[in-house]
């Protein structure tokens, strides 16, 4: 597919589609009804995971899309995840869960980078699979990653690399050859490692902390915890015009402040915590000294209050039309019945406080996941905050009494990361050092063995030679793969034939014009002329070789007067011979000393590494890409490495 024809996706958004693997195109209306029913079942299935989830910007949403071009009717949506990439991967987990639960549904997910699932497993992909050949080939089906294989011969399963299958054709291959399309185990394992911890990771990603906020905000957060996300975004992306509404605080006066427990995601908490802000003196917000034990609660509450005030100041700018109740949506009744069948209300009596809270969360989830996709003009978080304030009745005295029963705060030690922890995370993300999700602490003997294997200077020279000898394409240099599943094959006849075509064989040296005359002229060529031609060719070759030797000798003589020879190290045996006898010094100067290529290679690499002073540079980057890990720089490290190399030689 032409990249220019792809639909544009924002940089911080993910798009997903759910297709029926074996649709019935004969009846379009029945197909639409079936998809709508599946939509209700899907929302009811994932509702327990999503009603308490806090999205960074937009929620996971699905709606029906009719057939368009070669794309069949399907369910799909787009979610803008903002700065929280975990939202994108949580959606991938949801799609895997959906396809595992509903076996007749296959999912496609991509962002502005294309098939980002393949990027996660890039080290394990076959060489034929690239962004051009992956179009309409990658699916989540039965809870696993499936890739349509490359078909090189007729009758094989898959699709040719140089053509793009239509979605319907790809789904047909996926349905009829599911096992053949299943991705290889290393690819599936790489994706599983990235999704490791879900759904428990949802709760681990939350951060609960005490905030000193106006009473209205405390009520809003108790009814709609998800509204903390647009409030933090409003404060984080504020401008001078937004702050004009925070001079008076008409909606949330600071004199009604109470202590409450707020639930953030880690991304939202980091955004709010790391912002430096001094409130306007006219706002009425005052902060205690930094040594005060509740300074952080006052500061976070002040920032949250500014965010909520900015939201409410914009509540009437998007649309003057009041949002309709979810009960008027025809999909709501079926969605509610599915929730009851799945035990969402946990046996609570209808009308109880817990039942009402669950119903409010379900309505909010349904509004974000279904209604907002049909009516984007009425999605206004500021108006939702005002609606909660209008429907809620609270007592300031009661809120102050609840301060003594607040749950404890979570530690924010995760904000501080040590260099060792950063190195471990980078190794995990790079696929090194972790194989099964747990990091093993090496013993002293194991550390020595890893050190010997990791930066053996013999391995340095071998790795560099393999890299230089590797065949690369027009796309750039490629790192040689030492663990290829396919054995190396060598066809001497094919190589000989290729060389003949490149250099020209003896038969090709004869021009076809030589045979234009009649046969009599061809018979007149005598043996003496052939011998003379052969001798002339030998003389020309000898003269060319002599000229080349003369040129090399002159170049050597010219270089002897420079210092360039000092940058190369000669063989130790030859050097010892040259120093054993002073009488042969003139002869040694005249002769060219044989060079030890490995010695020069390692010495130059070590010098380059030393000049990097422990930072990233060309030498370390090249060695890391070859799988050769140099230890951290230490005193005399270059000398130790050099002595070790000499000993190994």
What confidence score (pLDDT) does residue 83 get?
92
Banded model confidence at residue 322, pLDDT cuts 50, 70, 90 = very low
167 and 283: one domain? no
> Is the predicted pLDDT of residue 73 greater than 60, yes or no?
yes
Per residue in 529-538, pLDDT (tens digit) is: 555 666 666 7
182 and 242: one domain? no
Inside any domain, residue 548 = no
Per residue in 360-406, pLDDT (tens digit) is: 888 877 777 665 444 443 468 998 899 889 888 888 999 999 999 99
- Report the C-alpha gap between 248 and 283 in whole angstroms: 5
Report how many domains make up the chain: 2
Banded model confidence at residue 638, pLDDT cuts 50, 70, 90 = very low
Per residue, the 3-state secondary structure of 453-483, as one string, reads: HHCCHHHHHHHHHHHHHCCCECCECCCCCCC
**Domain end among 199, 224, 253:** 199
Q: Which stretch, 411-420, 481-490, 514-523, has highest mean pLDDT? A: 411-420
What confidence score (pLDDT) does residue 550 get?
86
Inside any domain, residue 314 = yes
**Domain end among 146, 170, 199:** 199
Q: Which residues contact 244 (CB under 8 A, 6 or more apart)?
A: none
Helix, strand, or coil here: 111? strand
Domain hosting 124: range is: 13-199
Q: List C-alpha distances in Å: 298 to 180, 250, 347, 642.
A: 59, 19, 39, 59
Helix, strand, or coil here: 293? coil
Per residue in 122-158, pLDDT (tens digit) is: 889 998 998 888 999 999 999 999 999 999 888 888 8
Inside any domain, residue 121 = yes
Nearest C-alpha neighbor of 142 from the set 74, 200, 95: 95
137 and 101: one domain? yes
Inside any domain, residue 325 = no
Contact 9, 112 (CB under 8 A): yes
- Mean pLDDT for all residues in the chain: 78
48 and 182: one domain? yes
- The set of long-range contacts for 559-562, using a CB threshold of 8 Å and a minimum separation of 24, is 560/589
Contact 188, 196 (CB under 8 A): no
> Is the predicted pLDDT of residue 545 greater than 70, yes or no?
yes
Inside any domain, residue 462 = no
282 and 252: one domain? yes
Q: Which residues contact 273 (CB under 8 A, 6 or more apart)?
A: 300, 412, 415
> Is the predicted pLDDT of residue 174 greater than 90, yes or no?
yes
Contact 359, 62 (CB under 8 A): no
Q: How is the chain split among helix, strand and coil, in percent rounded to 5?
A: 55, 10, 35
**Averaged pLDDT for residues 485-508:** 58
Inside any domain, residue 340 = no
- Half-sphere exposure of residue 7: CA atoms within 13 angstroms, side-chain side: 9
Share of the chain above pLDDT 90, in %: 39
What confidence score (pLDDT) does residue 380 get?
83
**Domain end among 171, 199, 227:** 199
What confidence score (pLDDT) does residue 646 get?
46
Q: How many CB atoms lie within 10 A of CB 264?
A: 25
176 and 238: one domain? no
190 and 231: one domain? no
Banded model confidence at residue 291, pLDDT cuts 50, 70, 90 = very high
212 and 190: one domain? no
84 and 190: one domain? yes
41 and 157: one domain? yes
163 and 221: one domain? no
Inside any domain, residue 494 = no
Which ranges of 252-329 would DSSP assign to H, the alpha helix? Answer: 266-273, 295-313
Give the Cα-Cα-Cα angle 88, 89, 94 (nearest 5 degrees).
100
- Report the C-alpha gap between 536 and 528 in whole angstroms: 12
Inside any domain, residue 189 = yes
> Is the predicted pLDDT of residue 220 greater than 80, yes or no?
yes
95 and 190: one domain? yes
> Is the predicted pLDDT of residue 501 greater than 60, yes or no?
yes
């Amino acid at each position: 597919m032409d990249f220019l024809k792809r639909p544009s996706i924002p940089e911080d958004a993910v798009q997903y589609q759910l297709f029926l693997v074996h649709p019935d195109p004969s009846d379009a209306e029945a197909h639409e009804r079936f998809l709508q029913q599946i939509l209700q079942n899907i929302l009811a299935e994932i509702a327990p995971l999503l009603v308490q989830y806090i999205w960074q910007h937009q929620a996971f949403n699905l709606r029906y899309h009719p057939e368009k071009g070669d794309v069949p009717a399907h369910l799909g949506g787009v979610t803008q995840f903002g700065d929280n990439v975990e939202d994108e991967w949580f959606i991938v987990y949801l799609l895997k869960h959906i396809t595992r639960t509903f076996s007749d549904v296959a999912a496609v997910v991509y962002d502005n980078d294309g098939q980002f699932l393949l990027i996660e497993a890039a080290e394990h992909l076959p060489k034929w699979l690239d962004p051009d050949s992956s179009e309409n080939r990658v699916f989540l089906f039965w809870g696993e990653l499936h890739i349509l294989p490359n078909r090189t011969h007729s009758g094989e399963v898959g699709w040719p690399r140089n053509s793009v299958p239509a979605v319907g054709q790809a789904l047909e291959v996926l349905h009829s050859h599911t096992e053949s399309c299943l991705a290889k185990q290393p690819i599936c394992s790489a994706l599983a490692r990235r999704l490791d911890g879900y759904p428990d990771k949802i709760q681990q990603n939350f951060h609960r902390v005490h905030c000193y906020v106006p009473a209205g905000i405390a009520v809003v957060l108790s009814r709609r915890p998800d509204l903390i996300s647009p409030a933090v975004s409003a404060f984080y992306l504020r401008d001078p015009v937004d702050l004009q509404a925070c001079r008076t605080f008409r909606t949330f006066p600071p004199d009604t402040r109470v202590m409450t427990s707020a639930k953030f995601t880690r991304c939202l908490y980091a955004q709010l915590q790391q912002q430096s802000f001094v409130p306007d003196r006219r706002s009425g917000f005052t902060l205690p000294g930094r040594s005060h034990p509740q300074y952080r609660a006052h500061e976070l509450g002040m920032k949250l209050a500014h965010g909520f005030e900015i939201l409410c100041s914009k509540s009437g700018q998007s649309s003057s039309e009041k949002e309709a109740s979810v009960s008027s949506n025809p999909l709501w009744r079926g969605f509610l019945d599915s929730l009851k069948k799945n035990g969402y209300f946990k046996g609570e009596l209808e009308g109880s406080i817990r039942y009402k809270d669950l119903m409010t969360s379900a309505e909010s989830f349904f509004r974000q996941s279904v209604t907002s996709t049909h009516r984007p003009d009425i999605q206004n978080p500021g108006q939702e905050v005002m609606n909660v304030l209008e429907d809620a009745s609270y007592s300031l005295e009661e809120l102050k009494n609840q301060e003594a029963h607040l749950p404890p705060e979570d530690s924010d030690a995760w904000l501080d990361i040590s260099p060792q922890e950063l190195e471990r995370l980078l190794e995990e993300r790079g696929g090194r050092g972790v194989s099964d999700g747990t990091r093993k602490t090496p013993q002293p003997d194991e550390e020595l063995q890893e050190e010997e294997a990791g930066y053996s200077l013999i391995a340095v020279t071998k790795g560099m030679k393999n890299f230089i000898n590797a065949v690369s394409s027009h796309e750039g240099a490629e790192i040689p793969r030492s663990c290829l599943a396919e054995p190396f094959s060598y066809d001497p006849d094919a190589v000989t034939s290729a060389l003949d075509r490149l250099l020209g064989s003896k038969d090709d040296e004869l021009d076809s014009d030589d045979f234009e005359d009649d046969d009599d002229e061809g018979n007149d060529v005598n043996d003496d002329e052939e011998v003379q031609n052969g001798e002339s060719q030998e003389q020309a070759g000898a003269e060319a070789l002599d000229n080349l030797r003369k040129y090399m000798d002159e170049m050597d003589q010219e270089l002897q007067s420079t210092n360039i020879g000092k940058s190369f190290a000669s063989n130790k045996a030859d050097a010892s011979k040259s120093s054993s006898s002073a009488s042969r010094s003139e002869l040694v100067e005249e002769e060219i000393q044989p060079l030890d290529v490995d010695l020069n290679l390692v010495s130059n690499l070590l010098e380059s590494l030393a000049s990097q002073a422990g930072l990233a540079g060309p030498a370390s980057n090249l060695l890391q890409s070859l799988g050769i890990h140099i230890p951290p720089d230490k005193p005399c490290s270059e000398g130790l490495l050099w002595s070790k190399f000499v000993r190994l030689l």
